[in-house]
Amino acid sequence: MHVLAKHTLTKHTLTKHTLTKIVPLTLAIAIMAFGALSASAAPPAAPAAQEGNPERGAYILSLAGGCGCHMGQAGFLAGGEKFEGPFGVVYASNITPDSETGIGNWSDQEIIDAIRLGEHPGDTQLHPVMPYPTFSNMADQDVRDLVAFLRTVEPVENAVPPRELEAPVPPFEPRQPAPAEAPTEGVDRGAYIVNAIAHCGDCHTPRTPQGAPDMSKMLAGAMIEGQVAPNITPHDATGIGTWSEEEIAALLRTGERPDGSEVGGLMKLSVDGGYVNMTESDALAIAAYLETVPAVANTAQTPEEMPEEMPTTGGVLPANWLIVAGLAAALGTLLLVSGVGLRVVVRRVQRRN
């Protein structure tokens, strides 16, 4: 059962592209198996020693939503998934212990540096599509446990194509050193899971035009892969302010909203891929933390709902004047037809000149 779940089922977890490739039947089996797993699996207590514990590492992988980006067609954690953006093209690495195409020859420290700092032993900097800015906060013990788990995975030979980047990736400096051990309970535990492992913000926090997370709207909803990741701040009207902590925790472990509807898309993949294995106390800790983040009034919009960007006087180049004039004329006609102040438009156009 365990082997089946590990090698057959987690393939179908959170990823950008497997989303469309999932065979419903396999997914159904996966959900059933994960259900069975989660019923029996409680995370083992942290060992006193510094040795990595693979069982705890498997739980860390679950808290991360299953590292679904690495679950391509090639096999469990064997990588190959393609991620495209304005930055170019990158492929998820093969993180199985295969010595030729995976990370079998890497030392523990090399794997830890790749996870937390994005440093590749070949002296290249990984692209932050790999969420090392989040994982940089992962406690020493947790990352060691995760590495110990990765060592137990079945090696898969899968050579991943080289990346093609538009610009070099700048080196990464973590803002603070990672803790030695993770907090074990309460709001601190929730904050830690959200900001160091479960990377909720990678989907739910909008980005600035430069691509950095917009922390003034932390967890206030964003568009990701054409899907809306809703506002999960405690704002009553636009967030989840009216949900109880138990309801939030239940959603994380089952994918079910308080009204009985099911989450879909990337959230469902994160739940099925790992959150479903979360202990109740960890899910409640996350819920308790979410109640403490600033409530932000914001509704993430799909591209179709977003208004076309209107040219503004400030940034208008001479070549764009025709467009501006055309828009002004159209607006003027509209206002004229409806019998409202054409003079306003005229004055505006004059001011622009």
**Token pair of 65 as six digits:** 């939503």
- DSSP per residue, 283-315: HHHHHHHHTTSPP-------GGGSPPPPP-TTT
- Number of other residues whose CB lies within 10 A of the CB of residue 235: 20
Q: How far is the CB of 232 from ligand HEC (least distance, A)?
A: 5
User: Are 217 and 298 spatial neighbours (Cβ–Cβ below 8 Å)?
Assistant: yes
Interaction pattern, residues 27-66, with ligand HEC; x per rule: CB under 6 A: --------------------------------------x-
Distance CA 130, CA 272 (A): 20
**Cβ nearer to ligand HEC, comparing 157 with 245:** 245
**Cβ nearer to ligand HEC, comparing 158 with 270:** 270
Q: How far is the CB of 289 from ligand HEC (least distance, A)?
A: 9
Distance CA 275, CA 61 (A): 9
Figure out which of the listed residues 270, 274, 288, 345 binds ligand HEC, where binding follows CB under 6 A: 270
**Cβ nearer to ligand HEC, comparing 30 with 232:** 232
Question: Which of 117, 111, 119, 108 lies closest to 94, judged by CA?
Answer: 111
- DSSP per residue, 71-101: --TT-TT----EEEETTEEEE----SS-TTT
- DSSP per residue, 193-251: IIIIIS-HHHHHS-B-TTSSB-GGGTTS-EEETTEEE---SS-TTTSSTTS-HHHHHHH
Contact between 160 and ligand HEC per CB under 6 A: no
Q: How far is the CB of 207 from ligand HEC (least distance, A)?
A: 13
Contact between 118 and ligand HEC per CB under 6 A: no
Figure out which of the listed residues 264, 294, 326, 341 binds ligand HEC, where binding follows CB under 6 A: 264
**Cβ nearer to ligand HEC, comparing 51 with 262:** 262
Q: How far is the CB of 278 from ligand HEC (least distance, A)?
A: 8
Binding residues for ligand HEC restricted to 194-213, rule: CB under 6 A: 194, 198-200, 202-204
Contact between 255 and ligand HEC per CB under 6 A: no
Question: Which of 177, 167, 172, 204 lies closest to 286, judged by CA?
Answer: 204
Contact between 17 and ligand HEC per CB under 6 A: no
Among the listed ranges 117-125, 205-213, 225-233, 312-320, the one in contact with ligand HEC (CB under 6 A) is 225-233
**Cβ nearer to ligand HEC, comparing 251 with 296:** 251
Interaction pattern, residues 77-106, with ligand HEC; x per rule: CB under 6 A: ------------------------------
Distance CA 148, CA 346 (A): 70
Residue indicated by tokens 């898969």: 156
Q: How far is the CB of 300 from ligand HEC (least distance, A)?
A: 9
Figure out which of the listed residues 5, 61, 117, 232 binds ligand HEC, where binding follows CB under 6 A: 232
Figure out which of the listed residues 240, 276, 284, 300 binds ligand HEC, where binding follows CB under 6 A: 240
- DSSP per residue, 19-40: GGT--HHHHHHHHHHHHHHHHH
**Token pair of 85 as six digits:** 């953006």
**Cβ nearer to ligand HEC, comparing 119 with 142:** 142
Q: Which residues bind ligand HEC (CB under 6 A)?
A: 14, 65, 194, 198-200, 202-204, 224, 227, 229-230, 232, 240, 248, 251-252, 257, 263-267, 270, 286
